[in-house]
A and B are shown apart, each in its own frame.
Chain A
Amino acid sequence: MGKRVLLIEDEPNILEAISFILSRDGWTVHTHEDGETAMQKVVGFPPDMIILDVMLPGRSGFDILRDLRGTDTTKDIPVMMLTARGQEKDRELALRLGANHFMTKPFSNAEVRDHVRNLMEA
């Protein structure tokens, strides 16, 4: 039984692609599409790792990250953030808020796989 990763992303095609890549690498992938209820999902099901999109319906990924880092049970879960906006200040904000890694779309499948592996080993 592989480690559990929670994928929070609202674009169905991207969800499917990342799920495919990580499942192939031995992960158990869970998905969630809504920003508003993302926090509850994480708390009710603490995963080993989170991949979090910035632009989510209901609530932004930055706000969720801030909550994750401010909550005892979730503050140590590694978080990798995804964004399609590609602005430098977004990266800075993510790292300042405590993201472990920040990745800009589009990405190669190998990049996703390698960064997730690295984060778990660290």
Chain B
Amino acid sequence: MLSFNVVIAISLCYVAILFMVAFMAERRAMMGNATWLYSPLIYTLSLSIYCTAWTFYGAVGYAARSGLEFATIYLGPTLMMIGWWWILRKLVRIGRAQRITSIADLVSSRFGKSTSLGMIVTVISVVAATPYIALQLQSVTLSFAVFAQSNGHVWRDAELNATAMWVSVGLVIFTVIFGTRNLDANERHHGIVMAIAVEAVVKLVALLAVGVFVVWGVAGGPSEMLTRIDASPITLWDHNGGRWISLLFLSAAAFICLPRMFQVLVVENADERHLAIASWAFPAYLMLMSLFVVPIAVVGLDLLPTGSNPDLFVLTVPLSQGRDGLAMLSFLGGFSSATSMVMVATIALATMVSNHIVVPIWLSMRPNQQAVMSGDIRHVILLARRLSIAAVLFLGFIYYRVSGGGTALAAIGLVSFSGAVQILPAMIGGIFWRGATRIGAAAGLIVGLTLWLWTLFLPSFGADALISQSVFDNGPFGLSWLRPQALFGISGLDPLVHGILWSMILNTGTFIIGSLVSFPTPLERLQGAQFVNIFEHSAAAPAWTNAAAGAEDLLIMAQRIMGSTDAQAIFEREATRQGKKGYLPEVTPAFIELLERELAGSVGAATAHAMVGQLIGGSGVSVEDLIAVADEAAQILEYSNRLEAKSTEQEQTARALRDANAKLTALSIQKDAFLSQISHELRTPMTSIRSFSDILRDGEVGGDAQKRYSGIIHDEAIRLTRLLDDLLDLSVLENGQVMLNEQTGSLSALLDRAIGGAGLLGSNLKIVRTPEVDDVTITTDLDRLVQVFINLIANSRKYCDARHPRLKISVFDRGSHFYIDFVDNGSGIAADNQQLIFEKFSRVADGSKAGGAGLGLAICREIMRRLGGDITYLPGQYGTAFRLRLPKKKLKNTLGEL
């Protein structure tokens, strides 16, 4: 007999293995060499979270109680998968195009990025998922108890509760670690998905093993098994047609409405084509899972004493035959089913709670731009997600305690399913019917939720628990037409069929009528057209016009949400696409649209829209903008898209020509200007030198004045020399062949050297460094690099106007390059001047203060070019910021030719 401690130890080992698997998948994905993570096989296996502990243990119990009805739970998703072309494909396409993060986000986004709809769907999802999570906790707890009891010790409630609590705590930890690593909910959770795939295999193998044992080990072969089945009472159940149809509908609808299924089907989908393979592979998986359900149920009923819980046959049948190893495997299968479901469900729900409830409330408490510009939104969201994960599991635990763990597994599962499918009308209507409106969706959802709570959820606790027996019999306040299981006086129906029928009919009816009588806002129409016609045109009409926000403000906001690396990458890519240098693109409506979609991947459509709106100043889409999309056929749209593409092309050619022309003109003007600049820079110190040397020669002054004037002559002569040096240096760098003296050295030591050489003595500039990061070895022309460092540090010393000037030097390893950022806390450089500062003689501040000729940054730029890297101004840092990019590989040739 397995001792209970051995069971605990094996479970912990199993969790540790899962942890390793998740961790390694996460690592591999981060290093970018994990294409197998995106395979259709992993996708199909991840869908198996549909098969929870309810399916693993409960299906057998279901079969033992109600015969073949259990098969509907497998048939529903099978129908949905086989018909994937019509619904699933559309959902996945929309999910990817709109960067949808959850089912709440889908509904909210479709109906004009509505915050309130997001909240309603989130509430429905959380309430509906709570019993289901409780169910998983219950099944894990019961399976632990089986082992304890088989050792002759019967668990008391306290021990059951403690086990359930420890399981919840463990799940919270695992989920927080692997589920909230990325803020971008639209990004895939590789670790979790991999762990789920492993668990999918374990539970299938476990169930098949028990099945094979039952058929060949206990019954003695397939034909004997069939005889036993014929003789068993299972086949005697009369089949209720209404229940069959209801259950088929319920499981098919729940398959796409459950937040966790939406998460794996749509959000974690890496490639639309995976659906095609999953459309037969997943039904095959379900078929295997259901293959031995009836045999196990029949044998269980035969072998075990009457009154034993059929929900645990999968575990108790092997145990009763002394097959400890098999029982252990079966236990791990059940454990896998429960944990994988809970992890994905809590991630999905936590994303919804944080994006649709916490962040909107947090934003509404800060009603101006400050909200999106300051404070670290990332931290707020991540914290919200982590707390939500804990809260969702805690709710499940509470439900488990309150419901007493007594109800049959299958019954709880069905109640939960029927709650989730209340979202179905709004979702399906949203993606197929352009006339659907927010008002209609909200009204339908609320009616559906209310009816579900009244007819199914509250009664699920049993009579006299939350609803007294008299209400069941006579209705509330004696209103008999409101009896929870006989609404409008129609009694005699199965309670489940009754609840589903009424809630779905009234939900759908309200949704349709509400949509017909209300008028959609422009944004709703726009989103509606994009959702319904997702296959006809992917280019969207701009939802923003007359954008007034500065690119830099948008960048600051994006950095707060996505982190600086990702945000800068998006801005840089767009700037490059527009043919601009640096990080700041033109703020076009198309760019705002793109940015909003990227942000939506982190915080959901409604919140992203609200945040962008706060910066842009509410100049959202107008009715006129919509004329193009509002009511025409798809062809017109496609035509106009093509037209747009063509005019973009023409515009690009024209721009290229204009640029070339401007460059030529500028070149000759530049040459002129350059010469007269040089003249000015040389003549100015010479003027002082000549005047004061005249004065000294005349011999009229003596003493202090004489000393002072010769001092001026000296300083000006040095200024002149330095200027000539710089000019020579620059001219060689720009035109000549530069001998690069390639050496290998420590970046950290180079920075030390530069800080020493930047003349900081007597200045109060404070240098902040990250020595643990900048301690890397580089191979390049070290002296030239130090020259650049010195220039940047000296610039900060001269220009940083903060009361306590501080310069932060940070080093990043970015694969093929090192990034070295110099960011000070001064007032920064205005966007207009950010490109200009690299030009020769361009001083933004006035010359006398700078004491240089304005060649420093031009020289830096040339040096970095020679070293194979570059220097750019880094906007959005609240100060002056430069980024050096230095290639890791050796220089191609030491002459540094360009």
Q: Which residues does A use to contact B, with CB under 8 Å? A: 10-14, 16-18, 20-21, 24, 55, 57, 83-87, 104-110
Chain B, residues 677-689, CB within 8 Å of chain A (1/0): the string is 0011111101111
User: CA separation between A55 and B854, bound complex, in Å?
Assistant: 15
* Cα separation A104 to B847 with both chains bound (whole Å): 20
Bound Cα distance from A20 to B696, whole angstroms: 12
B692 at the interface (CB under 8 A from A): yes
Q: Which residues of B contact A12 (CB under 8 A)?
A: 848
Give per-residue flags for B691-713: 1 if the beta carbon is below 8 A from chain A beta carbons, else 0: 11011001010000000000010
Number of residue pairs spanning A and B whose beta carbons lie under 8 angstroms apart: 68
B695 touches A106 (CB 8 A): no
| Contact B846 A18, beta carbon cutoff 8 Å | no
Determine which residue in A13, A105, A107 has the highest number of CB atoms from chain B within 10 A of its CB, and name it: A13
Determine the chain B residues whose CB is within 8 A of the CB of A57 once the complex forms.
Answer: 846-847
How far apart sit A16 and B713, CA to CA, in the bound complex (Å)?
12
Tell whether, in the assembled complex, residue A13 and residue B694 are in contact, meaning their CB atoms are under 8 Å apart: no
Q: Known: A14-B691, A106-B687, A109-B695. Is A85-B679 also a contact (CB below 8 A)?
A: yes
Cβ–Cβ contact B695 & A86, under 8 A: no
A10: chain B residues within 8 A (beta carbon):
846-848
| CB closest chain-B residue, reference A10 | B848
Identity of the chain B residue whose Cβ is nearest the Cβ of A20 in the assembled complex? B695
Contact check, A17 vs B683: say whether CB atoms are below 8 A apart. no
Known contacts A20-B695, A86-B683; A13/B690 CB under 8 A = no
Do B690 and A108 touch (CB < 8 A)? yes
Q: Say which residue of B687, B689, B694, B716 sits within 8 Å of A84 (CB atoms).
A: B687
- Cβ of B542 to closest chain A Cβ, rounded Å: 41
- Tell whether, in the assembled complex, residue B687 and residue A105 are in contact, meaning their CB atoms are under 8 Å apart: yes
Assess whether B676 is interfacial by the CB under 8 Å rule: yes
Please give, as numbers and ranges, the residues of chain A lying within 8 Å of B687 by CB-CB distance: 11, 14, 17, 84, 105-107
In the bound complex, residues from chain A placing their C-beta under 8 Å from that of B683 are: 84-86, 104-106
Q: B686's closest neighbor in chain A, by CB?
A: A106
- A16: chain B residues at CB < 8 Å are 712
Contacts of B698 in A (CB 8 A): 109
The residue of chain B having its C-beta at the shortest distance from the C-beta of A87 within the complex is: B676
Q: B848 contacts which chain A residues (CB < 8 A)? A: 10-12
10 contacts between A and B (CB under 8 A): A10-B847, A14-B684, A20-B695, A84-B687, A87-B679, A105-B686, A105-B687, A106-B691, A109-B694, A109-B698
User: Apart from A57-B847, A84-B680, A86-B683, what 18 extra A-B contacts exist at CB < 8 Å?
Assistant: A10-B848, A14-B691, A17-B695, A21-B691, A84-B679, A84-B681, A84-B682, A84-B683, A85-B679, A86-B676, A87-B676, A104-B683, A105-B683, A105-B684, A106-B683, A106-B689, A106-B690, A106-B691
The 4 A-B pairs at the shortest CB distance, nearest first, are namely A17-B691, A84-B683, A13-B688, A106-B687
Chain B residues closer than 8 Å to A24, beta-carbon distance: 700
When C-beta atoms are compared, the residue in chain A nearest to B694 turns out to be A109
Taking beta carbons and an 8 Å cutoff, which residues of B are in contact with A? 676, 679-684, 686-692, 694-695, 698, 700, 712, 716, 846-848
Q: Roughly how many angstroms separate A87 CA and B671 CA in the complex, as a whole number?
A: 13
Min CB distance B114 to A, Å, is 52
Chain B residues in 8 Å Cβ range of A83: 680
- In the assembled complex, how far is the CB of residue B159 from the closest CB belonging to chain A, in whole angstroms? 83
Bound CA span A12–B682, Å: 16
In the complex, A109→B695 CA distance in Å? 8
A17 touches B680 (CB 8 A): no
On chain A, the residues within 8 Å of B688 by CB distance are: 11, 13-14, 17
The residue among A11, A12, A106 with the most chain B CB atoms within 10 A of its own CB is: A106
A107 touches B695 (CB 8 A): no
Residues of A within 8 A of B679 (CB): 84-87
CB of A13 within 8 A of CB of B680, answer no
* Alpha-carbon distance between A37 and B691 when the two chains are bound, in angstroms: 27
Q: How far is the CB of B706 from chain A (nearest CB, A)?
A: 12
Interface centre among A24, A83, A104, A109, by most chain B C-beta atoms within 10 angstroms, is A109
Nearest neighbor of B683 in chain A, beta-carbon distance? A84
Asked whether A85 lies within 8 Å of B692 as measured between CB atoms, the reply is: no
**What's the minimum C-beta distance from B293 to chain A, rounded to whole angstroms?**
87
Contacts of B684 in A (CB 8 A): 11, 14, 84, 105
Give chain B residues whose Cβ lies under 8 Å from the Cβ of A17.
687-688, 691-692, 695
Measured in the bound complex, the distance between the Cα atoms of B716 and A87 in whole Å is: 23
Closest Cβ–Cβ distance, residue B719 to chain A (whole Å): 10
A11 to B846, CA, bound (A): 11
- Alpha-carbon gap, A14 to B680, bound state (A): 13
With the chains together, A50 CA to B695 CA distance in Å? 22
Best-surrounded residue of B676, B700, B716, B847 (most CB of chain A within 10 A): B676
Residues of the B chain whose Cβ atoms lie less than 8 Å from the Cβ of A18:
691
Q: How far is the CA of A97 from the CA of B730 in the complex (A)?
A: 37
B686, B691, B692 — most chain A CB neighbours (10 Å) = B691
B373 to chain A, nearest CB (A): 32
- What distance in Å separates the Cβ of B723 from its nearest Cβ neighbour in chain A? 13
* Smallest CB gap from B705: residue in A: A20
Q: Which residues of chain B are near A107, meaning CB under 8 Å? A: 687, 690-691
Question: What residues of chain A lie closer than 8 Å to B689, measured between beta carbons?
Answer: 106
CB distance from B426 to the nearest CB of A (A): 62
Q: Provide the bound-state CA to CA distance between A10 and B691, in Å.
A: 16
Residue on B nearest A54 in the bound complex, by CB? B680
Minimum distance in angstroms from B876 CB to a CB of chain A: 29
- Contacting residues, chain A, for B712 (C-beta < 8 A): 13, 16
Q: Which residues of A contact B695 (CB under 8 A)?
A: 17, 20-21, 109
- In the complex, the answer to whether B691 meets A109 with C-beta atoms within 8 Å is yes
A52 to B519, CA, bound (A): 70
Most A CB atoms within 10 A — which of B686, B688, B846? B688
Report the bound CA distance from A108 to B695 in whole Å: 10
**Inside 8 A of B681's CB, which chain A residues have their CB?**
84
Which residue in chain B gives the minimum CB-CB distance to A112?
B691
* CB-CB under 8 A for A108 and B694, given A11-B684, A13-B712, A14-B688: yes
Task: List chain A residues, Cβ under 8 A from B682.
Answer: 84
In the complex, A96 Cα to B169 Cα: how many Å?
Answer: 88
Within the complex, the shortest CB–CB distance from A112 to chain B, in Å, comes to 8
In the assembled complex, the Cα of A18 lies from the Cα of B676 at a distance in Å of: 23
B850 to chain A, nearest CB (A): 12
A74 to B647, CA, bound (A): 56
**A101 CB to nearest chain B CB (Å):** 16
